[in-house]
Homo-oligomer: A and B are copies of this chain.
Amino acid sequence: MTTNKQITLEVRPAGFPKESDFRLVEAPVPTPGPGQFLVQSLYLSVDPYMRGRMNAAKSYAPPVELGGVMVGGVVGQVVESHHPRFAAGETVEGYFGWQQYALSDGVGARKVDPSLAPISTALGVLGMPALTAYFGLLEIGKPQPGETVVVSGAAGAVGSLVGQIAKIQGCRVVGIAGTDEKARYVVEELGFDSAFNYKSARNYRAKLKTLCPQGIDVYFDNVGGAITDAVIPLLNVRARLVICGQISQYNLERPEMGPRWLWALIVKQARAEGFLVFQFADRFEEGIRQMAQWLKEGKLKYRENIIEGLENAPRAFIGMLKGENIGKQLVKVADA
């Protein structure tokens, strides 16, 4: 424990990120000062939002600096602490970044109860993707029993939970995914009513029309682009579009043009609303408690895809952007 391996951002990608946009560097392991603790990373999360942080443009959060450590959620273990709330040996989750060791003053960090579930779930079914699915669907989408909910990115960390929560609410759930295997997974393992692989569908709209004979009441959008365009004509009156992610647009070298459909929101008296999970921060405990309860009751299933080694984080991240994973993509950095 003398050096701290880190993955830094070397080049701001134009279009799809490449492994050469990142760099593996070594720094000294820092020493916690008063009110700080040192955490060793065990698992790190790779998520679509990180693509936005690689751009120079101002967004809801500052970009990662060139040469700076990549941002990201991490589950780790406290090694040394001068913080009143976190003790050495405890498991914690926070935005510690793509590195082996990080200092924290506790802001944005929370303790993880290892008796509840494997600690890696603090980055998935009991972590940020879960809260995103839970609050986005229930608070923005407001699904009612019997309504039809369509989820894009259905086999991903968020989408797979959205569909299961919608089933718990008594909805009919249709998933859109990027491989046949994913479409089978969400139906056969997760209990969605139906799903299709958009990459082999010639006409998304015709396919959706077949699978949603009662129209679409809630659309939970992780993807955007032509998939979202196909949903619009099928919206029911007072439909809700939960705009969670637009992964189809993040890696374009030039902005994509699409058909204008705001008029459809008028005709259907419909609402499209974007959100960030942080806007529900004061209810995170409630969200995690409910997800843990459903997990315990066997109502939620999840899958994790784990790549070993911090040095493979860029590859895991790029693979996630390409849709190679089913469920939550993680990088294992060290053994507990």
Give chain A's interface residues, CB within 8 Å of chain B.
52, 59-60, 221, 224-225, 228, 237, 243-246, 249-250, 255-260, 262-276, 279
In Å, the complex CA distance between A274 and B265 comes to: 5
Q: Give min CB distance, A156 to chain B, whole Å.
A: 16
Q: Give min CB distance, A13 to chain B, whole Å.
A: 17
With a 10 A CB-CB cut-off, give which of A259, A267, A268 has the most chain B CB atoms: A267
Number of copies of chain A assembled together: 2
Task: Kindly report which residue of chain B lies nearest to residue A263, judged by CB atoms.
Answer: B246
Chain B residues within 8 Å of A258, by CB? 257-260
Chain B residues within 8 Å of A260, by CB? 224-225, 246, 249, 255-258
With a 10 A CB-CB cut-off, give which of A243, A262, A265 has the most chain B CB atoms: A262
Given contact pairs A60-B267, A272-B271, A224 touches B262 in the complex (Cβ within 8 A) = yes
B244 pairs with A266, CB closer than 8 A: yes
In Å, the complex CA distance between A268 and B263 comes to: 21
Other A-B pairs beyond A265-B273, A267-B276, 14, CB < 8 Å: A224-B262, A224-B263, A243-B262, A246-B260, A246-B263, A255-B259, A255-B260, A257-B257, A263-B274, A264-B274, A265-B272, A265-B274, A266-B274, A269-B279
Per DSSP, chain A at the interface is mixed
Task: Kindly report which residue of chain B lies nearest to residue A228, judged by CB atoms.
Answer: B262
In Å, the complex CA distance between A274 and B235 comes to: 12
Task: Kindly report which residue of chain B lies nearest to residue A240, judged by CB atoms.
Answer: B273
Q: Give min CB distance, A244 to chain B, whole Å.
A: 7
> Which of B245, B257, B262, B273 contacts A221, CB < 8 Å?
B262
In Å, the complex CA distance between A268 and B244 comes to: 12
In Å, the complex CA distance between A293 and B267 comes to: 31
Given contact pairs A249-B260, A263-B246, A271 touches B271 in the complex (Cβ within 8 A) = yes
Task: Kindly report which residue of chain B lies nearest to residue A279, judged by CB atoms.
Answer: B269
Task: Kindly report which residue of chain B lies nearest to residue A247, judged by CB atoms.
Answer: B263
Q: Which 3 A-B pairs have the closest CB atoms?
A: A265-B274, A266-B274, A271-B273
Q: Give min CB distance, A250 to chain B, whole Å.
A: 8
Task: Kindly report which residue of chain B lies nearest to residue A278, judged by CB atoms.
Answer: B269
Given contact pairs A259-B257, A272-B271, A245 touches B224 in the complex (Cβ within 8 A) = no
